[in-house]
């Protein structure tokens, strides 16, 4: 599949922050936003990779900025938010995409010993609390702009599985947070999410023969490309004017 989006947007004058955007869905979303005319701040904890991607986008003539930082701590989030606002001059769209499995291979649900206190704390901070911290920090500015928030959830939030029980639980919490933020920030700001399944990206946790598994279990018979998830995220930002509090499965039909 091509990484070129099949849907085009006119986002001239719009300002966006995409967290976790040095690779995968986050990078594809930032690329699509910038190519559509938006000014985009890219955030990631992987500073070297973030710098490379931001420089590449700038060389292509796109208006992008790097705002590195660890979003698992509220003080660091406040710094990233302030830096992004300085770069952008305000914000219309916030994409809370930062997340991590913190394991190189799936942890079986029966392996409770692997789910240590430290692991739980890091999983919840990165995959759930970071979205709350960032949305809270930018809420007044999003309300002033009549903006939108999109959270990257996971299909594991609705049926379990994924990299670990802790990850699936954190993502289930993010689905719930999406609804609560939609209530709390309405009517000025819409808050939605997407729930991806198989993604062709350099994810830390590797699943055995993902392509074969997708071919046999997904009605569309393939792994999803980051750009295909990005299209849905951007539609929820720039369109979908009467949609809020929803988490849209983007799965190739795996749960039908």
Residues in the chain: 256
Q: Where are the alpha helices (DSSP H) in 125-164?
A: 130-145, 156-159
Cα 140 off chain centre by = 21
Task: Write the DSSP symbol of residue 113.
Answer: G
3-class secondary structure, 130? helix
Residues 216, 192: Cα–Cα separation, whole Å = 30
Q: What is the torsional sign of CA 198, 199, 200, 204?
A: negative
Active-site annotation holder among 167, 229, 235, 242 = 167
User: Among this protein's residues, is 229 annotated catalytic?
Assistant: no
| Six-digit token string for 118 | 């430290």
Cα 21 off chain centre by = 8
Torsion of CA 233, 238, 244, 248, to 10 degrees: -20
End-to-end, the C-alpha distance of the chain in Å comes to 23
Q: What is the torsional sign of CA 77, 85, 54, 36?
A: positive
Alpha-carbon Rg of the chain, whole angstroms? 17
Residues 256, 252: Cα–Cα separation, whole Å = 9
Give the residue numbers annotated as catalytic, written as ranges: 167
């Amino acid at each position: 599949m091509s990484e070129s989006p099949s849907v085009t947007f006119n986002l001239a004058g719009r300002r966006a922050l995409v967290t976790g955007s040095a690779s995968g869905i986050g990078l594809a979303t930032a690329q699509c936003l910038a190519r559509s005319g938006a000014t985009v701040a890219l955030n990631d904890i992987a500073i070297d990779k973030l710098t490379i991607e931001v420089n590449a986008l700038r060389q292509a003539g796109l208006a992008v900025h790097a705002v590195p930082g660890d979003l698992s701590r509220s003080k660091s989030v406040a710094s990233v938010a302030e830096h992004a606002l300085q770069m952008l001059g305000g914000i219309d769209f916030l994409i809370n995409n930062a997340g991590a499995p913190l394991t190189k291979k799936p942890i079986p649900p029966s392996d409770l010993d692997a789910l240590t206190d430290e692991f739980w704390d890091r999983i919840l901070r990165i995959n759930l609390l970071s979205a709350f911290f960032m949305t809270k920090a930018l809420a007044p500015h999003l309300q002033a702009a009549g903006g939108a928030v999109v959270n990257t959830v996971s299909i594991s939030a609705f049926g379990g599985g994924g990299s670990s029980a802790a990850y699936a639980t954190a993502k289930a919490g993010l689905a719930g947070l999406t609804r609560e933020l939609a209530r709390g920030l309405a009517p000025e700001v819409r808050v939605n999410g997407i729930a991806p399944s198989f993604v062709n990206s350099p994810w830390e946790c590797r699943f055995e023969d993902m392509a074969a598994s997708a071919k046999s279990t997904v009605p569309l018979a393939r792994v999803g490309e980051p750009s295909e998830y990005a299209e849905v995220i951007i539609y929820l930002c720039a369109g979908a004017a009467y949609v809020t509090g929803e988490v849209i499965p983007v799965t190739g039909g795996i749960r039908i």
